[in-house]
Structure 1
Amino acid sequence: MGEAAIRMIDPQADLAAVSDLCLRAADYITLETGAPPDADYAANLLAEAPPDLPSKDVFAFGAGRAGRLDGVVTCLRNFYAQGEWYMGLLLLDPAARGAGLGACMAQHVFSIAQGQGAVCIRVAVLEANPRGRAFWERQGFLHERLVPADPEGDGHIRHVLKLDWEA
């Protein structure tokens, strides 16, 4: 993939670029939600967080080249507990998949999390996305627990995976 610049996403200034990426990555969004992204998807993606988590602990990073956003990863700091991080979504343009960008972005987040004293990081992977689970396992994540499908929710079974940095 070459070197992609990874930077913090500004939810307002970068909304159009994130929206464009969501349209290009509609295959994953359709898998997750059952429909292509609507006009509000990108804004909701960048703002989604538990109500009791301070906004300073909710952020995203983007990566791309030549002024185009090829990937975005959302992060929650101090979730579920102090010193624990959670990556909500790593979304990549289909043209950028399989070329190392996802691993580069994940390592970027790991480095920042560890630099801020994180003891672990988690992701939740849809059971319907075995390639996604294999990707996270290649990054060193281990299965922590299964979250059954919520009949009131999107109907997906999720696998929570954890990368532990504690000795």
Structure 2
Amino acid sequence: MLIGEMTNPVSFALNRPGYLAKLLNLEDAGVLQRLYEQCTEFALLTDGQPPALTAAREEFDVVPGGKTTQDKYIFGLFAPQDDLIGMIESIRYYPDDQTWWLGLMMLSPEHRGQGLGKEFYRAFENWVAEQGLKQMSLSVIEANDPGLQFWKGLGFEMLRKTEPRQFGNKTHAVYVMSRAVATTA
């Protein structure tokens, strides 16, 4: 199945009752910005500074070379009260036509440690599998050991470690990781 023939490009459910992931658009930048601000510790770890006031707005426009905003998917995770508590930013067909790249996943601090992040990722991967892609890839900065352990726990394997590069006020080496997408039954 090709991406243009998506089975459900708008949302996917988690196994947890009342939790739903919905495709976000530019009009959702305000609510997404609040999530960025709740997750300030990640911005401080990565960039050495709090998220910019325009971070969520810019998230909708930033794509790697050779890709367009049509290739970008930002899903928001909504709790039963319809509060945005998490997000996944991703790029289809990157770096090749069988891979979906996960650029960023955030979960509000009060919802961590309950298995919700794993459920969110697995539901996302199931949705990606329905689109016919075969592989998920992502990167983790070397300083983010909890993130590295999280992704390893989900079956991601390290492909390589990059040379250090600049992220805001900080410099980090990056672990590039990948895993085969579970096929849908």
Specify if TM > 0.5.
yes
Shift of residue 74, structure 1, vs aligned partner: 0.3
Report the counterpart of residue 161 of structure 1 in structure 2: 177
Q: Is the 8 A contact 2:125 2:181 kept in 1?
A: no
Matches within 5 A, 1:130-145: 130-145=145-160
Query: Number of residues paired by the alignment?
Result: 165
Partner Cα separation in structure 2 for residue 96 and residue 166 of structure 1: 25
Equivalent of residue 63 in structure 1, options 71, 74, 77: 77
Q: Is the 8 A contact 2:39 2:107 kept in 1?
A: yes
Report the counterpart of residue 114 of structure 1 in structure 2: 129
Return the TM-score normalized by structure 1.
0.91
Secondary structure in structure 2 of the residue aligned to 1:110? helix
Letter in 1 for 2:57: A
Unmatched runs of 5 consecutive residues or more in structure 2: 1-15
Q: Deviations over 1:39-80 (max 9, x none)?
A: 111112232211421322111111122121110000100000
Q: Is the 8 A contact 2:73 2:90 kept in 1?
A: yes
Secondary structure in structure 1 of the residue aligned to 2:27? coil
Letter in 2 for 1:123: L
Partner Cα separation in structure 2 for residue 36 and residue 45 of structure 1: 15
Partner Cα separation in structure 2 for residue 24 and residue 163 of structure 1: 29
Letter in 1 for 2:162: V
Equivalent of residue 164 in structure 2, options 135, 149, 165: 149
> In percent, how many aligned pairs have the same letter?
24
Report the counterpart of residue 21 of structure 2 in structure 1: 6
Report the counterpart of residue 75 of structure 1 in structure 2: 90
Unmatched runs of 5 consecutive residues or more in structure 1: none
Partner Cα separation in structure 2 for residue 134 and residue 109 of structure 1: 19
Equivalent of residue 21 in structure 1, options 22, 28, 35: 35
Shift of residue 151, structure 1, vs aligned partner: 5.3
Report the counterpart of residue 6 of structure 2 in structure 1: none
Partner Cα separation in structure 1 for residue 152 and residue 54 of structure 2: 31
Partner Cα separation in structure 2 for residue 41 and residue 52 of structure 1: 22
Q: CA RMSD in A?
A: 1.9
Return the TM-score normalized by structure 2.
0.83
Is 121-130 or 40-49 further displaced after alignment?
40-49
